[in-house]
A and B are shown apart, each in its own frame.
Chain A
Amino acid sequence: MSDGQGSEADADTDPDSETEVAAAEDPNEPTEVRRGLSDRAAFWTSGVLALVIAVGSVWLVGIRGIHFEALNRVSPTIEGGGVGAAWVQGNTLPALDWMITLVHVADVLMGVGILVMFFVHWIAFRRLAARMRPPDAPRRSDEAVATDGGERSNGSRSSSDFRSDGGSEARPTGAPRDRERAGPASDGGEAE
């Protein structure tokens, strides 16, 4: 999966740093003496570890066989009188069993195909997004704007804009940026 450039190489360093884990980095904050990871590394490390803990703990109680599943179920069983409980046995024709197997195979093949398409599109979208103007780009290009185009415009953004602003005649902001935009709150300034 393409999760930006958050490397977890140093994931085993002590994450108990005094820097706050913030979703958005602020490159302008005064550089104090830091003893922990950088915000970005801490953010992604915490995210991955939290996911591992969450999944692992649930998996752990799952294999311990504590049957949460038995809670308050609409029993689709004969005793429960659920949907379709009129039939007291399953299919008995081998030919139809084969056909069911065939549909199972089709399911798996199509599922894998859909997943491939899904990943191709996700990555393609990220590449396309990297070419677009950053969210804080000025709404309309001014002929007199500074060369580096870094100025934040606080112009109101109409929420009823359907789709991106088709009207602006922006000047190209230099070469298309190759770097992937990492997920949250990218500000045009950081480069790793």
Chain B
Amino acid sequence: MTNLDHGKFSRVTTMFHSLLALTVFLLFFTGYAVAFNAELWWLVELMGGNQGVLAVHRIAGFALIFLTAFWVLYMLLRMGGSVGITAVLPNLADIQAFVQDVKFAFGMVDERHPNARQFAGYSADEIPLISYIGKGVIAIFTVELILLMVSGLLIWQQSVLIDFYNSQSVVTAFVGFHGLLGVIMMMGVMFHTFEHGFHPAFYPVEMKAFLPKADTPEFHGEAEGESVTGIERLRLKPSWGWVTNVMGVLTLIGIVSVLIASMDYGGYPISETLVFDEGSLLRTVGVNIGILVLFVGLFLSMYGNVLRARYMRQIEREDRRAAATDGGEPSDAR
């Protein structure tokens, strides 16, 4: 039992998080198969082909609107929710946390700011529920998702726009907004995957997002003394080093490639100038690596749920064993 055992998400939020991930990945795969068609033409075929890809995209978009609306309403309507609105708004301490994180990276300070901790340390009560990155994710994803949903709805049935602007081709501009907005989110999700999959203490996946708070054993003991976090007590997984380096490189290439591809992106379906043979081979490789990183994220999201199920079964077994007369102490009880 260490101090990192403290829950973060409610049961509903864990479900929401996993379903949102699934939906958003599906939207990325379908949307960017179309938008970055020069690089991801194969993905169009995988995602429904020329005729079906946007149908799949719209179905996923509908699911996204439903999920988001449900979760926001649920959070607002539930009295005495676990987190107040102030807990998710960035404050001064979060800015300090970012500055200290930069210093930590350069070796100027020895510890990360409490607001930067994914690895709790202390006792769970002294660490903010959401790190500064977590607050950033919530804020950015909220704005992004709203803008994406609104622009997506506007181009769902283009007649609204065509009627308003009295022009048919203007729809392409909104398709452009929609695609470019998604790029920010896509880069963010790649970072999010790296950040929560490859923290050495949590590798290969941070369970706080998958195991509901109610099922997470909380530990409110004193810190062990050797450091504030007690991270020295944890053993590094053997594969962490090389896997993290590989994933780091892939994530970097993915983010940069998607960014570069979006700079050239003049608005699908017909770009400002009709280009044939556009695109470069290197960029094609890079964008595809970005998609690979997203697939890893999708896999880790699934894996977190597998681990949760496994853990719950283990707890169940231990409960049964404890209920038995004297079944020899389980060696690994947590």
A56 to chain B, nearest CB (A): 10
> How many residues from A make CB contacts under 8 Å with B?
83
With A84-B270, A111-B184, A123-B105 as contacts: A128 and B332 at CB distance below 8 Å:
no
Report the bound CA distance from A104 to B266 in whole Å.
Answer: 10
State whether A132 touches B201 (Cβ < 8 A).
yes
Most-contacted residue by chain B among A3, A78, A123, A185 (CB, 10 A): A123
Q: Does A40 contact B (CB under 8 A)?
A: no
Contact B173 A82 (CB under 8 A): no
- For the complex, what is the distance from the CA of A106 to the CA of B4, rounded to whole Å? 36
Instruction: Give Cα A68–Cα B279 distance, bound, in whole angstroms.
Output: 10
Bound complex: CA A52 to CA B194 (Å): 25
Chain B residues with Cβ below 8 Å from A115 are 252, 255-256
Q: Which A-chain residue is minimally distant from B151 (CB atoms)?
A: A103
Residue pair B170, A96 in contact (C-beta under 8 Å): yes
Q: Which A residues, 92 to 151, have Cβ-Cβ distances below 8 Å to chain B?
A: 92-93, 96-97, 99-100, 103-104, 106-108, 110-111, 114-115, 117-125, 127-129, 131-137, 139
What DSSP secondary structure best describes chain B's contact surface? helix
**A117, chain B: closest CB distance, angstroms:** 6
A160 and B119 CA atoms in complex are apart in Å by 21
> Interface size on B (CB < 8 Å)?
98
Picked from B37, B173, B262, the residue with its CB within 8 Å of the CB of A96 is: B173
Given contacts A163-B202, A183-B245, contact A91 B173 (CB under 8 A): yes
Contact of B241 among A117, A122, A129, A131 (CB under 8 A): A129
Q: Is the CB of B235 within 8 A of A164?
A: yes
Closest to B269 in A: A84
In the bound assembly, the distance between CA atoms of A15 and B99 in angstroms comes to: 42
Identify B191's interface contact among A77, A114, A181, CB under 8 A. Answer: A114
A100–B173 contact, CB under 8 A? yes
Pair B177/A107 contact, Cβ less than 8 Å: no
Q: Is B28 an interface residue (CB 8 A)?
A: no
State whether B231 touches A82 (Cβ < 8 A).
no
User: Main SS of the interface on chain A?
Assistant: loop
Residues 252-275 (chain B) with a chain A CB within 8 angstroms: 252, 255-256, 259, 262-263, 266-272, 274
User: A55 in the interface, Cβ–Cβ < 8 Å?
Assistant: yes
Whether A137 and B235, one on each chain, are in contact in the complex, defined by CB atoms closer than 8 angstroms, is yes
What are the residues of chain A within 8 A of B180 when measuring CB–CB? 100, 103-104, 106-107
Contact B241 A88 (CB under 8 A): no
Specify which chain B residues have a CB less than 8 angstroms from the CB of A93 in the assembled complex.
165, 167, 170, 173
Q: Which of A62, A104, A122 contacts B281 (CB 8 A)?
A: A62
B145-190: which have CB < 8 Å to A? Answer: 165, 167-177, 180-181, 183-184, 187-188, 190
In the complex, per-residue mask of B224-256: 1 if CB is within 8 Å of any chain A CB, else 0 = 001100011111111011101100100110011
Q: What B residues does A1 contact at CB under 8 A? A: 248, 252
A81 to B51: give the CA distance in the assembly, Å.
10
Alpha-carbon distance between A167 and B101 when the two chains are bound, in angstroms: 29
Pairs A-B, 9 closest by C-beta atoms: A84-B269, A91-B173, A129-B200, A96-B173, A135-B238, A123-B105, A164-B234, A111-B259, A103-B180
Chain A residues in the interface with B (C-beta under 8 A): 1, 3, 55, 58-59, 61-62, 67-70, 72-74, 76-78, 81-93, 96-97, 99-100, 103-104, 106-108, 110-111, 114-115, 117-125, 127-129, 131-137, 139, 158, 160, 162-170, 172-173, 176, 181-186
Known: A59-B282, A68-B281, A166-B234. 10 other contacts (CB 8 A): A3-B245, A62-B280, A84-B268, A107-B259, A110-B187, A121-B101, A123-B105, A125-B199, A131-B232, A162-B311
